[in-house]
Structure 1
């Protein structure tokens, strides 16, 4: 049996449904990532949900405190990984993914880049300054998949509403997962905008004229950014008509600034593009 708890001023007279649902959904998604990695699956299917889910057994008022069980019914369905990764080991990997993310996200926020050494089994030694950590391969895979869910959970911290979120085995005093009043930005990844404007040939396939944001696809190799799909924003107060018309063209020529993300899992990567102009 495990506990999941949300506490703060918003819970003094009951549990706000929208906050409770958002927290429980993010927490479920985090454990889903553990299941996907350990089961070798790509996404949660209806069959996967029959095999793995969290079962709440009680809710208590004053804070949102729920007792839950990790249900793995794969033994009956012939999944061999369940015999190797029972509920306890499953929780250990989830707990370690939290610890790993806390370490590497803190590092990149301090402009300290983690470095990795992998052995033949895929396990890793992670070096951050003078500190060295060792993690099993699934922990890093789970952490990378679950990062957006951890970010969503931490962003619920608000001094007027939520001041802590935690989870642990019910018979344990100290939490394995703890997000406190100062931890709203615990998992945020810093970005930087490169100084030089670059030229790019690409296709704009989505654009929101109200937010001046969209998505583009880079299909031609050997350009300023690798091939792939990217989010973009219009830089400054440009007229968006050119960008709306650009969606009708198979290829457009853009000038942009690249916003890079300090990727805690490896080389830095493009976070989004800021378009400074379109070559009409």
Structure 2
């Protein structure tokens, strides 16, 4: 595969490259391409051995913006996709681009999801019907887009007028993947807060007493999938109980779910609003 570029552009880079900005952008970009790899190999996570076989490698850097010439390293990988006999870095990049274009199209119509029809055909082709127009995408774009959406949200949120004003990847002079200031909120999803609270057992492992927000971990076998979730205190509660709760391995809480309405036709848990600690 030929080297492609990954570029951050904006006034913040006029005197140099803020390392924390570059690292955050690179982590999000690597994670986006990781999703294509996970779907292509039908694996659930990239461990140490997987990372030795597949990673991004920057071969050179250029100044005045943060631009890296990059290549995908892929070796000794077993593929699980049907109808694919030869697969290499170029295919992985093409899947990423197709999924980006698919997701950008879908999210640009998120305010009218009823007007969008997605027809997935055996992970080899996806057709999107918007009115009388049909858009065709090749490869397993739907599962890749579903996995990569949160990372596109994180990458787009890095766009900020006067700082980072454009993020692009692909051909140096004509990048196929571009996000500008107009795309900052493109991947944000409308949300709704459910009316009925639910009770959950969790571990509160981060809490900011000034903003009354934190993160908690849900264990298996409960109403919502296990994993880490952002939460905030609902209403005017004393936050002392939340501070002490971090000393306990598990606490029971009641909360309202804030659900994000994905244009991909699935509902995602966006946030937890805790109405109180039960025990």
Using the size of structure 2 for normalisation, the TM-score is: 0.80
Question: Contact 2:202–2:253 (CA<8 Å) still a contact in 1?
Answer: no
Q: Which of 186, 198, 201 pairs up with 1:203?
A: 201
State the Cα distance separating 1:35 from its structure 2 match. 1.6
State the Cα distance separating 1:218 from its structure 2 match. 8.7
Q: Which of 9, 12, 15 pairs up with 1:10?
A: 12
Question: Contact 2:203–2:251 (CA<8 Å) still a contact in 1?
Answer: no
Asked if 1:186 corresponds to 2:183, the answer is: no
Per the alignment, residue 263 of structure 1 pairs with 262
Q: Which of 37, 43, 46 pairs up with 2:45?
A: 43
RMSD: 3.1
Per the alignment, residue 90 of structure 1 pairs with 92
Q: Which of 58, 71, 74 pairs up with 2:73?
A: 71
Using the size of structure 1 for normalisation, the TM-score is: 0.80
Asked if 1:144 corresponds to 2:143, the answer is: no
| Residues 120-175 of structure 1 deviation map (CA, whole Å, 9 limit, x = unaligned) | 456432334444333345222222222222122211111121111111134xx422
Per the alignment, residue 163 of structure 1 pairs with 165
Distance across 2 between alignment mates of 1:168 and 1:162: 18
Asked if 1:228 corresponds to 2:225, the answer is: yes
Q: Give 3-state SS (helix, strand or coil) of 1:228's partner.
A: coil
Gapped runs of 5+ residues in structure 2?
Answer: none
State the Cα distance separating 1:201 from its structure 2 match. 3.4
Residues 158 and 231 (structure 1), Cα distance of their counterparts in 2 relative to 1, 3 Å cut: closer
Question: Contact 1:259–1:272 (CA<8 Å) still a contact in 2?
Answer: yes
Per the alignment, residue 273 of structure 1 pairs with 272
Distance across 1 between alignment mates of 2:220 and 2:89: 44
Q: Give 3-state SS (helix, strand or coil) of 2:44's partner.
A: coil
Q: Give 3-state SS (helix, strand or coil) of 2:78's partner.
A: coil
Distance across 2 between alignment mates of 1:227 and 1:156: 29
Distance across 2 between alignment mates of 1:206 and 1:253: 10
Q: Give 3-state SS (helix, strand or coil) of 2:266's partner.
A: coil
Structure number with larger C-alpha Rg: 1
Greater alpha carbon shift after TM alignment, 56-65 vs 245-254: 245-254
Residues 176 and 218 (structure 1), Cα distance of their counterparts in 2 relative to 1, 3 Å cut: same
Residues 257 and 137 (structure 1), Cα distance of their counterparts in 2 relative to 1, 3 Å cut: same
Gapped runs of 5+ residues in structure 1?
Answer: none
Residues 251 and 131 (structure 1), Cα distance of their counterparts in 2 relative to 1, 3 Å cut: farther
Distance across 1 between alignment mates of 2:265 and 2:122: 18
